Structure 1
């Protein structure tokens, strides 16, 4: 799998995990009364924060490598790296990265991508 495709897959995984943890697991853990089934479900689902953390670390490395290969500015690179920490932002950033790669560095897309 090429670097660009790996970035896109990781961005999706990190984005979905962060959105789910932020908008489902976190509220279920802290809003229902202590000891209720919903609160316990929130506790159980909170393990996904660990999965997000690991996926995010890999995402940061891949995003950094992609940004360096494409020779993007420090500001855009930082936006890419931080977007995995703010719920839903990563989906917009991934869209911008996709447009930017296809416009400026089509060789990074690979022949199998449409």
Structure 2
């Protein structure tokens, strides 16, 4: 597992979050169209779990403070948060993986 994988998962998790709450939830509740919500919901759930696991892995590997870990985890539940987190904490100019 490397930093590039975490960057990719964080971006995909952010996209899936926006699709889930911005597209498929309105389809489900306003148009009674459940199919896309089930698919995107499953994808988002898998990406969310992967994001959280990777956050803990890189917390130890990069020797982040607990407050940094808290911010990284908090970003997973805030719209657009994972995009900001990726730029702030995972961008190649910001981190050197050992």
TM-score by length of 2: 0.86
Secondary structure of 1:31 counterpart: helix
- What CA deviation, in whole Å up to 9, does each residue of 1:61-111 have, x standing for no partner? 112111211111111101112322222111111110125x634x42x18xx
**Over 6 Å off, 4+ runs:** none
Q: Which residue number corresponds to residue 21 of structure 2?
A: 22
User: Secondary structure of 2:93's match?
Assistant: helix
Measured at CA, do residues 9 and 93 of structure 1 come closer, stay the same or move farther in structure 2, by a change above 3 Å?
same
Structure with higher Rg: it is 1
Post-superposition Cα deviations, 1:21-67, rounded to whole Å, max 9, x if no partner, equal: 010011121123xxxxxx32xx1111111211111111111121112
**How many residue pairs are counted as aligned between the two chains?**
97
* Structure 2 CA distance for partners of 1:17 and 1:45, relative to 1, 3 Å: same
Instruction: Give, in whole Å, the separation in 1 of the partners of 2:57 and 2:90.
Output: 15
Q: How far apart are the structure 2 equivalents of 1:88 and 1:44?
A: 24
Q: Give matches, 1:53-92, under 5 Å.
A: 53-92=45-84
- After TM superposition, the score normalised by the length of structure 1 is 0.75
Q: Where does the alignment leave 5 or more consecutive residues of structure 2 unmatched? A: none
Check conservation: 1:3, 1:62, Cα contact below 8 A: no
